[in-house]
Amino acid sequence: MAEIDEETGPAMERELRDAGHDALFIHTNVRDADSVEALVAGTVEHFGRLDVMVANAGGMFQAPALDISKRGFEAVIDLNLIGTWLCNTAAARAMIEGGSGGSIINMSSQNALYGALNGPHYGAAKAGILGLTRSVAAEWAEHGIRVNAVAPGGRTARAGAAPREGQLTGGGDPEYVENVAAATVYLASDLASWVTGHTLVVDDGGTFTNAPPRGA
């Protein structure tokens, strides 16, 4: 497991180990190619191979398009899109070398599908992830590597957001953590062995009911 926060990462590792799992935390900055390569190398060294990569690091700041500087725009692209690219290529190299294929899951957003007020840089980065996902899925298929994306919508229930107009169910916020996690696990599993180049939208129907776009 990769994390830039040197307090959160070890705590997560301990929690998983206490639950009986073989967990490994590696401090990682996805904006740095050497750091990402070290993550993959450390994972392969510990577990013997790399089966799954979930590229879910991301973030943004909210601002109107005309108030975003070139530097600010590039920072969001660097973290979200280029960071995802670095994780994908590092993982693919290890999977190809391992010879057993694998599954790569990229975290996009509903904002990639219909934009976001005060977040054009984020929407652009997340839309880029969808294009990247489809492109490398086609390129790496011959190696048995599946590449898919998950596009969550809305805000997490744990962040205290209330359900909004346009949701189809009353069971909580569309980006409820467990639902996004379940979608990710599905794409990583053999149940999705015939699924690649696909974007799985997890937004409680917000996309096709034209729910108003929200921030990250």
152-163 per-position pLDDT tens digit = 986 543 334 444
Query: Of the residues 114, 122, 176, 186, which is catalytic?
Result: 122
CA distances from 177 to 153, 158, 159, 193 (A): 11, 8, 10, 24
Which stretch of 31-40, 59-68, 167-176, 187-196 has the lowest confidence by average pLDDT?
Answer: 167-176
Identify whether 122 is a catalytic site residue.
yes
- Closest Cα partner for 108 from 212, 203, 211, 206? 203
For 202, residues 6+ apart whose C-beta sits below 8 A from its C-beta are: 150, 151, 152, 153, 174, 175, 179, 180, 183
Choose the CATH number for 51-202 among 3.20.20.150, 3.40.1160.10, 3.40.50.720, 3.40.109.10.
Answer: 3.40.50.720
Per-residue pLDDT tens over the stretch 13-53? 999 999 999 999 999 999 999 999 999 999 999 999 999 99
pLDDT value, residue 171: 44
For the four alpha carbons of 27, 31, 34 and 37, in that order, the dihedral sign comes to positive
Write out pLDDT tens, residues 99-110: 999 999 999 999
Q: At what angle do helices 120-140 and 70-77 cross, to 10 degrees?
A: 40
Hey, where are the domains in the chain? 51-202
Query: Residue 52, class by beta-carbon neighbours within 10 Å (0-12 exposed, 13-18 middle, 19+ buried)?
Result: middle
**Residue range 60-79: mean pLDDT, rounded:** 97
Where do we find the tokens 């919508």? 153
Average pLDDT, the chain: 89
